[in-house]
Amino acid sequence: MKVLLVEDEEAIARPLATLLRAEGWAIETAATAARARELVSEQAYDAALIDLGLPDGSGYEICRAVRAAGDAAVIILTARSDEDSVVRALEEGADDYVAKPFRARELVSRLRAVLRRRGTKQFYACGTLVVDARSAQVTVSGTPVALTAQEYRLLLLLIAQPGRVWERGQLLQTLWDEGGAFVEDNTLTVTVKRLREKLGGEGGHIVTVRGIGYRWEEKS
């Protein structure tokens, strides 16, 4: 498991990184927003721990970058435990927050809880639709559905987090922009349309969120 730790206070970052490494996780640390952005653009992480107050920027911005780059679990570390900061952190896509000062052990257990919640789930069922992520097989009423790689990845993203609203930009970046290649916005529309068609009656689970993007609705 790869974890990004963004924290400018060495007195916090160093012991925390040591503890996380002892858990068997691979840790990359960044003490500035600039370095964090660089790391996020270079590689994918399973989880990110992000301090809100950075010398050259805000943790919110890093949270957005992590969210746009992939599906990492995000925990915000903050000295500001006021309601507004917390609400905003969650709105920016954080899964949880931990108020400073915190015990490193507490943070590790919160991280474990978030990862458990997000799940390493490999099997999704919705109506007559079944997605088996181990074999990358999709069936509707027991009949295999042939999807392109992009259609499959889109389906997996949506079904793995029912109700989550994915912005078009997030989906484009997550699904197509890995090599930095420019993809036309229309490609996403076309892919969603084809995926819905292929899923037949279950295609209705993909709900268009006007002016924003898409979400997976469990009941259609």
Does the footprint of Ca ion cover residue 96 (CB under 5 A)?
no
Does the footprint of Ca ion cover residue 200 (CB under 5 A)?
no
Residues 117-146 that bind Ca ion (CB under 5 A): none
The whole-angstrom distance between residue 175's C-alpha and the CA centroid of its chain comes to 12
Q: Which of 3, 135, 22, 155 is nearest to 72 (CA)?
A: 3
CB nearer to Ca ion: give 53 or 169: 53
219: exposed, middle or buried (Cβ count in 10 Å: 0-12, 13-18, 19+): exposed
Binding Ca ion by CB under 5 A: which of 37, 45, 50, 51? 51
Q: Give dist(CA 119, CA 181) in Å, integer.
A: 30
Helix pair angle (33-42, 59-69), 10° resolution? 0
CB nearer to Ca ion: give 28 or 51: 51
Q: How far is the CB of 179 from Ca ion (least distance, A)?
A: 33
Does the footprint of Ca ion cover residue 167 (CB under 5 A)?
no
Q: Give dist(CA 139, CA 81) in Å, integer.
A: 46
Q: How far is the CB of 61 from Ca ion (least distance, A)?
A: 14
Binding Ca ion by CB under 5 A: which of 19, 35, 53, 114? 53
Q: Which positions lie near Ca ion, rule CB under 5 A? A: 8, 51, 53
